[in-house]
Structure 1
Amino acid sequence: MKTILKTAVAAIVLTSVAITTASAETRVTYKSAKTGSSYYQMGVELAEAMKAAGDISVTIEESQGSVQNVMEVRARGGDYVFTTPPALVGLAQGGKAMFEGKGDPAFEDIRALFPIPSLTMHFVMSAGSGVTDIADLDDQTILLGKGSFGAREGEKYLGLFGVAESVEIADVELSNAVSALKNGQIDGFVTAGSYPAPNVIEAAASSSVTVLSMTDAQIAETKRTKLTIPAGTYAGQEADINTTSLPVVAFTTTKMDDDTAYALTKTYWENKAKLGETSRWWNGVNPAMLSNITSKIHPGAVRYYQEAGIDLSDAHM
């Protein structure tokens, strides 16, 4: 009888320990992008890093886009983390553009955590085209793709720099860009993705290409954020490439408690170098990119940045 009692007590103790351990684990839902996209893959990598580093369990949710991510703030709780360009948060809080007539007090509670790799514009030209400036694309056949940010942005730049009427737009899917460039079907293609972009890596490795650099005046004309792709990022790239980008940031809301926001932010930055060993696009993120955040940062994340000696602006507080 005593043996049975001891066994029962031991089982209760083990169960209690298991419950305590499970309750100590912080669970977070991370919503970023469509399955198969680079940003969804980033979410998977981030979740694995969080799990390996501590007691934060991250569940990845597929998203249909940044606007949806912001809209879901209205119905989500304190475990919700999502990615979006900072500009969309400003539009939501102001009830402008795609958020016109859809304003909600919950948007005022959005708070930033940390930057992730930016969408980076690449104008990739065959070396044989001889083109070294975006303003010299006359008579070139360019692949823009369809429906993506890169396609829309590329079309805008062609207009800004006065070559839209003289460029032939190829009717080829972006997924076929590298083969089309190699066989001479196109002179170049436009793509937007976190650098180093896989299709640009492939193009540079398989043929001689030039990724166009933009002047400060050209970048200013686009009204986008300047980003420098360091020399050596792509095969044959001997100099830095100055281009434009659309910053992307991980956000949550004030519903998240300070300790969780602190732990997420601390774990992210302390494991970013390890993330970069898995995928090089993480190496393009640095604390200076906090300047791209135009709204408030979560108090828990602010605590980490202050401890780490990383400067924030008054607008972040």
Structure 2
Amino acid sequence: MKKSVVVLLVITMLIQGLLFAAGTQEGAAEPVKKTVINFPTAATTGAVYPLGSAMANLWNTKLDNVRASAQASAGGIANLNMIADGEAQLGVAVTSIMYESFNGIGAFEGRPNPNLRVMIGLYANPNQVVVTQNSNINSLADLAGKRFASGAPGSTTEVETSLHLKTSGVNYPDGLRVQYVGFTEAIDLMRNKQLDGAWIMAGIPNAAVTEMLSTAGGKLLSLDMDLIKKLQQAYPWYGAYTIPAGTYPGQTTDVLTSAIKITVCTDARVDADVIYDMTKAFWENFEELKATQAPLKQVNPKEAVKDLAGLPLHEGAARYYKEIGLL
């Protein structure tokens, strides 16, 4: 009798143990699969890399299905090459070189990337043309024969100078006295009256432009709307942009110029639900990000899908923009 009781107790304990183990397994939540997001941005010395790092941190904090990592990089062209090669899932780039990458032209000649997509339209990067007050330069056409800093050879600034002056009818570079120097050198040359003007492409207000206007006798040159429309016909990534009066010392009137939008771009093959979640998390926490990231102060959320050079939005991002009425 005792032996039977002992056996019964053992069997009961075994059954309870098995039921407990089964219940534990059924109740255990399966680990969420995380999508790895490599996110090249720009050099660590500028404002884009810290912005990218803050965005990656936001996604890692708010989303349990993403592991994002912002990386320093050589900039837009390098980022787009990494996306095309599958080495990155996100990147920062302006719409001009995105257009070239998507269509396989320019720097991407023969290497189109039809999978390139826009995720977030950030802010416009305006062209800012500073000339000296006593140079008698009132339009881009007046730069013919003048001493002008167009930026380092092959730089974005130099490319912008070339496109705008050629569209204005100025023979660039032979039709003027070009100095291939950057912002800092241009300030000193203008102060020493060795330069009539310089081209700067950067967000506003820009420290170099402030210096040129306040200490080197400079003024901002306004572009003609007809010129901007002519540029848009040939280069669909351009948008018209107004630098409001009072942005810089002594700037008493609005200045019209051209601008190119900076975006967060991605690959069509990245899961649509993941891109939807990331896009939504960015905009729903935009004010929090803007408080610490100066470039976002230039962003108008209502213009997130404007001036994108006709480039396609990612399916997941488009879903979110439709939900909030932007599409």
| TM-score scaled by length of structure 1 | 0.75
Q: Counterpart of 2:268 in structure 1: which amino acid? A: T
Structure 2 gaps of 5+ residues are 1-27, 233-237
In 2, the alpha carbon distance for the partners of 1:278 and 1:268 equals 14
Distance 1:275 1:141, change over 3 A: farther
Distance 1:132 1:51, change over 3 A: farther
Residues 1:58 and 2:72 are matched in the alignment: no
Distance 1:53 1:235, change over 3 A: farther
Structure 1 gaps of 5+ residues are 1-15, 312-317
Residues 1:114 and 2:120 are matched in the alignment: yes
Residues 1:202 and 2:211 are matched in the alignment: yes
Q: 2:91 aligns with which of 76, 82, 89?
A: 82
Q: Counterpart of 1:120 in structure 2: which amino acid? A: P
Runs of 4 or more off by more than 6 Å in structure 1? none
Q: Secondary structure at the match of 1:108?
A: coil
The answer for the alignment partner of 1:144 in structure 2 is 150
Residues 1:241 and 2:255 are matched in the alignment: yes
The answer for the alignment partner of 2:244 in structure 1 is 230
Q: How does 1:206-221 map to 2 (within 5 A)?
A: 206-221=215-230
In 2, the alpha carbon distance for the partners of 1:53 and 1:231 equals 39
Q: Secondary structure at the match of 2:249?
A: coil
Residues 1:67 and 2:81 are matched in the alignment: no
In 1, the alpha carbon distance for the partners of 2:320 and 2:288 equals 19
Distance 1:189 1:41, change over 3 A: farther
In 1, the alpha carbon distance for the partners of 2:290 and 2:218 equals 25
In 2, the alpha carbon distance for the partners of 1:57 and 1:210 equals 47
Q: Counterpart of 2:156 in structure 1: which amino acid? A: F
Of stretches 145-154 and 48-57 in structure 1, the one that deviates more from structure 2 is: 48-57
Q: Secondary structure at the match of 2:263?
A: strand
Q: Counterpart of 1:236 in structure 2: which amino acid? A: G
In 2, the alpha carbon distance for the partners of 1:245 and 1:280 equals 18
Contact residue 50 and residue 58 of structure 1 kept, 8 A = yes
Distance 1:247 1:175, change over 3 A: same
The answer for the alignment partner of 1:13 in structure 2 is none
RMSD: 3.2
In 2, the alpha carbon distance for the partners of 1:88 and 1:161 equals 22
Distance 1:111 1:156, change over 3 A: closer
The answer for the alignment partner of 1:32 in structure 2 is 41
The answer for the alignment partner of 1:3 in structure 2 is none
In 1, the alpha carbon distance for the partners of 2:265 and 2:59 equals 16
Contact residue 125 and residue 261 of structure 2 kept, 8 A = yes
In 1, the alpha carbon distance for the partners of 2:188 and 2:145 equals 20
The alpha-carbon deviation at position 141 of structure 1 amounts to: 2.1
Number of residues paired by the alignment?
Answer: 289
Q: Counterpart of 1:291 in structure 2: which amino acid? A: K
Larger Rg: 2
The answer for the alignment partner of 1:127 in structure 2 is 133
In 2, the alpha carbon distance for the partners of 1:163 and 1:97 equals 22
Q: How does 1:288-307 map to 2 (within 5 A)?
A: 288-293=303-308, 294-307=310-323
The alpha-carbon deviation at position 87 of structure 1 amounts to: 4.7
Q: Secondary structure at the match of 1:124?
A: strand
The alpha-carbon deviation at position 207 of structure 1 amounts to: 4.8
In 2, the alpha carbon distance for the partners of 1:233 and 1:117 equals 17
Q: 2:265 aligns with which of 235, 244, 251?
A: 251
In 1, the alpha carbon distance for the partners of 2:138 and 2:58 equals 40
The alpha-carbon deviation at position 149 of structure 1 amounts to: 1.3
Contact residue 124 and residue 189 of structure 1 kept, 8 A = yes
| TM-score scaled by length of structure 2 | 0.73
In 1, the alpha carbon distance for the partners of 2:115 and 2:151 equals 36
The answer for the alignment partner of 2:165 in structure 1 is 158
Contact residue 29 and residue 81 of structure 1 kept, 8 A = yes
